[in-house]
Amino acid sequence: MKLTIDGRDISIDESGISTFSDAIKHVEETKLSRSDVITKIVLNGEEIDEGQEIGLGAFSVDEIVSLAIETRNRIHLAHEALNDAQDYLPQLSTLLEQSAGMIREGSVAEGLTLASEALDFIGAFGEVLEGIRISFRLDFAEVKIDDFNLLEKMQNLGKLAQDILKAAQEENWTLFADLTEYELSPLLYEWMAVIPSLVNLLPAENGNKGGDDAL
């Protein structure tokens, strides 16, 4: 098996490695630092996503000709993700408000398209928050920024998304529009306001705050 990490050829002792899952675990434990996060895996020339990675867990190492891995520093990645959120959350709020307006005017299909796009991004934002919570061992239940409890507001995001989907399934368009415009959109503005404080909870990108010893 030829192993490359971030474009560099890396030697690997295959003894004790029998499956693809074993190989990834070995790389994480012996070839990467604690600050590294795997962001891309190319197996035998084909990029695989997270779902495929799980499905290929038992794939025999004898069938692995090449394994290419790309990584990012998790501190930089977290800062980048939150900075990106600062840019796209206002756009999502606008999409939700436009969606509600369209639905109230009877343009349900067009409104649903906008809402679906916004909800996909909101789901991704929720994954970012969960990844940060786990990666940096932050107890969101104990973190309160002014009157904003991170765990409670994070759970509210998920609950509102589920309530909106349920309203769509029941074709309750009045409720759908009200939830998107009057509850979910304002919640995104609340998140926008606290993201700078959330960034300050992370180790600094230059390593002056926290660092691996604090993680």
Residue 78, pLDDT score: 94
CA gap 53, 62 in Å, rounded: 17
Mean pLDDT computed over every residue of the chain? 90
**pLDDT classification of 13: cutoffs 50, 70, 90:** confident
Contacts of 6 (CB under 8 A, 6+ apart): 69, 70, 71
CA gap 70, 53 in Å, rounded: 14
CA gap 75, 173 in Å, rounded: 41
Q: Is the pLDDT of residue 58 over 90?
A: no
CA gap 196, 24 in Å, rounded: 34
CA gap 3, 20 in Å, rounded: 12
Mean per-residue pLDDT for 158-168? 95
The string of pLDDT tens digits covering residues 188-209 is 999 999 999 999 999 887 654 4
Residue 193's H or E segment, with its range, is: helix 185-200
The string of pLDDT tens digits covering residues 98-150 is 999 999 999 999 999 999 999 999 999 999 999 999 989 999 998 888 889 99
CA gap 186, 175 in Å, rounded: 16
Alpha helices by DSSP H, 20-172: 20-30, 50-55, 74-104, 108-135, 150-169
Contacts of 57 (CB under 8 A, 6+ apart): 19, 20, 21
Q: Is the pLDDT of residue 213 over 60?
A: no
Tell me 203's DSSP state: P
CA gap 78, 6 in Å, rounded: 19
Q: Is the pLDDT of residue 211 over 50?
A: no
CA gap 152, 76 in Å, rounded: 26
Global pTM value: 0.76
Q: What percent of the chain has pLDDT over 70?
A: 95
**pLDDT classification of 14: cutoffs 50, 70, 90:** confident
**pLDDT classification of 214: cutoffs 50, 70, 90:** very low
Going from N- to C-terminal start, the domains of the chain cover 2-73, 75-200
CATH architecture of 2-73: Roll (3.10)
The string of pLDDT tens digits covering residues 27-55 is 999 999 888 989 999 999 999 987 788 88
Parallel/antiparallel/unpaired status of strands 8-10 and 2-5: antiparallel
Residue 57, pLDDT score: 78
Q: Is the pLDDT of residue 215 over 80?
A: no
CA gap 205, 200 in Å, rounded: 11
Q: Is the pLDDT of residue 70 over 50?
A: yes
In single-letter form, the type of residue at position 115 comes to A
Distances (CA, A) of 182 to 16, 81, 124: 56, 26, 21
